[in-house]
Amino acid sequence: MSTTPTVDDEEAETESESTLATARKQLQRAATNVEVDPAIIERLKHPTRVQQVSVPLEREEGGVDVFTGYRAQHDDVRGPYKGGLRYHPEVTADECTGLSMWMTWKCAVMDLPFGGGKGGIAVDPKSLTDDERERLTRRFAEELRDVVGPTKDVPAPDMGTDAQTMAWFMDAYSMQQGETIPGVVTGKPPVIGGSYGREAAPGRSTAIITREAVDYYDREIADATVAVQGFGSVGANAARLLDDWGATVVAVSDVNGAIYDPDGLDTRAVPTHEEEPEAVLTHEAPETLSNEAVLELDVDVLIPAAVGNVITAGNADAVDADIVVEGANGPTTFAADAILAERDVAVIPDILANAGGVTVSYFEWLQDINRRTWSLERVNEELEEQMLSAWRDVRDEVDARDLTWRDAAYVVALSRVAEAKGARGLWP
The nearest distance, CB 82 to ligand NAD, in angstroms, is 12
Tell me if residue 106 is catalytic.
no
- Are 319 and 299 in contact by the 8 Å Cβ rule? The answer is no
Q: Which residue's CB is nearer to ligand NAD, number 225 or number 229?
A: 229
Among residues 348 and 403, whose Cβ is nearest to ligand NAD?
348
Nearer to ligand NAD, 278 or 384 (CB): 278
Please name which of 50, 82, 83 lies closest in space to residue 69, comparing C-alpha atoms: 50
State the nearest-atom distance from the C-beta of 316 to ligand NAD, in Å: 17
Whole-number minimum distance, CB 305 to ligand NAD, in Å?
A: 6
Task: Please provide the DSSP assignment of 147-186 as one string.
Answer: T-BTTTEEEEE-TT--HHHHHHHHHHHHHHHTS--GGG-S
The gap from C-alpha 336 to its chain's centroid, in whole angstroms, comes to: 19
Residue 139 or 349: the one with the smaller Cβ distance to ligand NAD is 349
Looking at residue 263, the DSSP 8-state letter turns out to be T
DSSP of 343-409, one letter per residue?
A: TT-EEE-HHHHTTHHHHHHHHHHHHHHHT-PPPHHHHHHHHHHHHHHHHHHHHHHHHHH---HHHHH
Asked if 327 contacts 202 with a C-beta cutoff of 8 angstroms, the reply is: yes
Residue closest to ligand NAD when measured from CB atoms: 232
CB of 230 to ligand NAD, least distance (A): 3
Give the footprint of ligand NAD on this chain (CB under 6 A): 202, 229-235, 253-255, 273, 278, 291, 305-308, 327-329, 354, 357
Q: Which of 346, 355, 354 lies closest to 302, judged by CA?
A: 346
Q: Which of 118, 126, 152, 188 is catalytic?
A: 118
Q: Is there a contact between 188 and 179 (Cβ–Cβ < 8 Å)? A: no
Q: Phi and psi of 383, rounded to 5°? A: -65, -45
**Cβ closer to ligand NAD: 7 or 208?**
208
Q: Which residues are catalytic?
A: 118
